[in-house]
A and B are shown apart, each in its own frame.
Chain A
Amino acid sequence: MSVLPAGLPDITRKTRVARFHWWTILAVPLAAILFQVYVPRFLTYLSYLELPLLVTVYFSLMYRSPVAGVLVGSGIGLAQDSLSNLPLGMFGIVKTLVGYFVASVSQRLEVNNTPVRFFLALVFFLFHRVFYWVLSEALLGEHFDLDLPQTAVLAILNALVAVPLYRLLDKLKIVE
């Protein structure tokens, strides 16, 4: 229950929902997917950067709506699936869940806080990797090594990249 007097809008930072131009919502995920497709050809070590996931986490955090999180996650995931050689839906399901959980968590957290963003990016990278591995094993019967120490290091690296990336994406928000 709100403690504000009747008639006054709740303008605390926690409940503020960010807004973006429509082209931002299209261009940023597309750029992230293009980055993943194109850049590792020349800089192999950048193939470990999961920009589509980081972008999913960011938009889900900013919209603070589980429905929006589901839509963003499934959209980016299916686009990623379309460019892979695996059946459609693998990245879609994982990112749908990521979007939903991030948006649910964001309703209780200060999303502009850098440590919170770092922590969320780290946790959801791990969730994404582990859940993708589970789905591959369970649904497709495909076996690939889930190197946990390596996954942990990659999670930290991705979270480190997420912090400045989110600051950059903050500049694309519509200022009211």
Chain B
Amino acid sequence: MELLLGRFRNLTVLVIAIFAQLALLAYQIKSNQEVRLIRVWAVSAVTPMARLLEGTRSGLSHFFGDYFMLRNVREERNRLKSELDKVKMENQYLRTEVNTADRAKTLAIFQRSTQSTTLAAHVIGNTTGSSGKVVFVDRGSLSKVEKGMAVITPEGIVGKVISVYPTASQVMLITDPAFAAGVVSEKHHVHGTLKGSGHSYALIDYVQNEMPVDQGEWFYTSGDDRIFPKGLPVGVADVIRAGVQRKEIDVTPSGLQNGLEDVLIVLNGIHSQIPEAPPQEEGVHLLSAPPADPSDSADSTPAHSGPAGTDADRLVEHYRNLGASQKHTYGDRGSPAPNYNLNADETQRKPAGAEPKSPGSPPPHP
């Protein structure tokens, strides 16, 4: 023992440290439990600082933004020429602010409109793992967040909560290699499993080669995983390849396309139907439909408004007039076919009740 503590002291300490950590690792893997206390300490120590940093950053950003804006207003009076660059800076700043405000507004509108109960959260940091795609959000068990809850944005799903601490939670993004969720395609209702790739895109697995999936087809959550409510947008199938047994489908996640700052944690998810049409682009302002023209009457609205365009259109219009003038209903097998050789104007001039004259019919008796 003395030899170990004396001559091989350094090596002994190293071996003890390594074995202690190996035992810790083995215990966690075998029992599949987290050693929560040390994690709680570390996260509780770091996240308040991350919050403080974030608060300081946004405070400074606002302060300097206001400062630059004020300075620009003053200089506008005196030196219009040198103002140009500063106005550009101001523009850039304001654009960022408007984007942020738009995002917050979209989130609030979505939160009100969705049937699921959600909680808004702010992303405050990344985790330290080199291969994982995991972030910290500023809501934890004090805000009733639980492990396994879905995290979404109005544009699509973002990830799921994998650890919960009092004031923060860890969210595994859908691009993390360990992520998986059930999805279904919009058009052909093909079921598959969404997996992270470790890069900016995600993969859809377990889709047989025979299953039809179109490029550009939207995928939605299927609700099979019991984490994500059914019907939330996932992303668009960008690349589709036939594999050995199953298709290889790359998906661009719609929820991560506009950066990741504000998210919604689904506290109580409610399944909805898979939409028939792909989700509309958010942030595009559309006017309401124009009012009806009073000169247009409902019954005079043909399939074609205005003059007939092609020869086929004119022919269809001609036959329709002929049918109408001879009181014939197209598709009614009980009535005889109209006389197509008559002129529609002539038929209309004939007295009511007069039979149309067909070329093969006998002349009327005197």
Contacts and interface: CB of A to CB of B under 8 A. Distances in A.
A74 B18 CA distance: 9
A144 to B, nearest CB: 4
A85 B41 contact: no
Given A97-B18, A104-B10, A142-B131, A82 B43 contact: yes
Contact of A34 (B49, B134, B170, B198): B49
A82 B132 contact: no
Given A37-B126, A41-B125, A67 B9 contact: yes
A90 B29 CA distance: 12
A165 to B, nearest CB: 18
Given A67-B9, A85-B172, A88-B24, A36 B39 contact: no
Given A70-B14, A88-B28, A89-B22, A83 B43 contact: yes
B42 A96 contact: no
A95 B197 CA distance: 27
B128 interface: yes
A75 to B, nearest CB: 10
Contacts, number: 123
A85 B127 contact: yes
A37 B29 contact: no
Contacts of A80: 128
Interface in B75-133: 123-132
A33 B47 CA distance: 11
A96 B21 contact: yes
A159 B21 CA distance: 28
Interface centre among A38, A66, A79, A139 (most CB of B within 10 A): A38
A156 B115 CA distance: 52
Interface in B34-81: 35, 38-39, 41-43, 45-46, 49-50, 53-54
| Size band of the interface chain A makes with B | 35 or more
A40 B126 CA distance: 7
A157 interface: no
A92 to B, nearest CB: 5
B29 A38 contact: no
B40 to A, nearest CB: 9
B30 to A, nearest CB: 10
A85 B134 contact: yes
A47 interface: yes
18 contacts: A37-B50, A38-B124, A41-B125, A66-B11, A78-B21, A81-B128, A82-B43, A84-B132, A85-B134, A85-B178, A86-B129, A88-B38, A96-B21, A100-B14, A129-B130, A142-B131, A144-B177, A145-B198
